[in-house]
Chain A
Amino acid sequence: MIIVLARGTTEEQANEVIGALRGYGVMARLVRDGDEPLLHLFDGPTRSARSVLGFECVVGLLPTSGPRIRRQGRRFYPYHFINWSSAVLLMLGLLVVMSGFLPPGGTLEINEQATLTELETPWYLRAPTNFFALFAGRPAWIGWVCFVALLGLGFIVPLIDRFTRRWIRGKWPLKLVGLIALFAWLALSLKGLVY
Chain B
Amino acid sequence: MIAREEGLLAALWSVLRKPVSPEFRSTFVFGWMIVILFVLQIVTGILLSLYYDPRPAAANESVQLIMRDVSSGWLIRGLHHWSSTAILILALCQLLRVFVVGAFRRSPTSWYLGCLLLVFVFAQAFTGALLPWDNQAYWWANRALESLESIPYIGQTLLSFLNGGPEVTDHTLSRAHALHVMVFPWLGLVAVAVNVWLLARQWTRQRGAER
- A49 CA / B122 CA spacing, docked (Å): 42
Q: Please determine whether B20 and A99 come into contact, CB atoms closer than 8 angstroms.
A: no
Task: Give the residue of A60, A84, A104, A161 whose beta carbon is less than 8 angstroms from that of B32.
Answer: A84
- A50 CA / B22 CA spacing, docked (Å): 11
A192 at the interface (CB under 8 A from B): no
Contacts of B189 in A (CB 8 A): none
Task: Give the residue of A109, A116, A125, A154 whose beta carbon is less than 8 angstroms from that of B139.
Answer: A116
- A98 CA / B18 CA spacing, docked (Å): 35
Contacts of B79 in A (CB 8 A): 95-96, 99
Task: Give the residue of A78, A99, A155 whose beta carbon is less than 8 angstroms from that of B81.
Answer: A99
Contacts of B101 in A (CB 8 A): 171, 174
Given contacts A104-B77, A141-B152, A178-B100, contact A80 B136 (CB under 8 A): no
- A25 CA / B22 CA spacing, docked (Å): 23
A150 at the interface (CB under 8 A from B): no
Contacts of A66 in B (CB 8 A): none
Contacts of B104 in A (CB 8 A): 157-158, 161
Contacts of A98 in B (CB 8 A): 78, 82
Tell me the smallest distance from the CB of B127 to a CB of chain A, in Å: 12
Contacts of A185 in B (CB 8 A): 92
Q: Please determine whether A124 and B122 come into contact, CB atoms closer than 8 angstroms.
A: yes
A100 at the interface (CB under 8 A from B): yes
- A149 CA / B21 CA spacing, docked (Å): 39
B53 at the interface (CB under 8 A from A): no
**Stretch from B1-9, B143-151, B178-186, B191-199 at the A interface:** B143-151
Interface size for chain A: under 10, 10 to 19, 20 to 34, or 35 or more residues? 35 or more
Contacts of A175 in B (CB 8 A): 100
Contacts of A139 in B (CB 8 A): 150
A194 at the interface (CB under 8 A from B): no
Question: Quick one: which of A77-109 are within 8 Å of B by CB?
Answer: 77-81, 83-84, 87-88, 91-92, 95-96, 98-100, 102-109
Q: Which residue of B lies closest to A88 (CB)?
A: B36
Tell me the smallest distance from the CB of B70 to a CB of chain A, in Å: 13
- A182 CA / B97 CA spacing, docked (Å): 11
What 9 A-B pairs are tightest by C-beta distance, nearest first? Answer: A99-B78, A106-B132, A140-B150, A158-B108, A104-B81, A178-B100, A108-B135, A110-B138, A98-B82
Which residues of B come within 8 Å of A, CB atoms? 13, 15-22, 24-26, 28-29, 32-33, 36-37, 40, 60, 63-64, 67, 74-75, 77-79, 81-83, 85-86, 88, 92, 96, 99-102, 104-105, 108, 111-112, 115, 122, 125-126, 129, 132-140, 143-144, 147, 150-152, 155
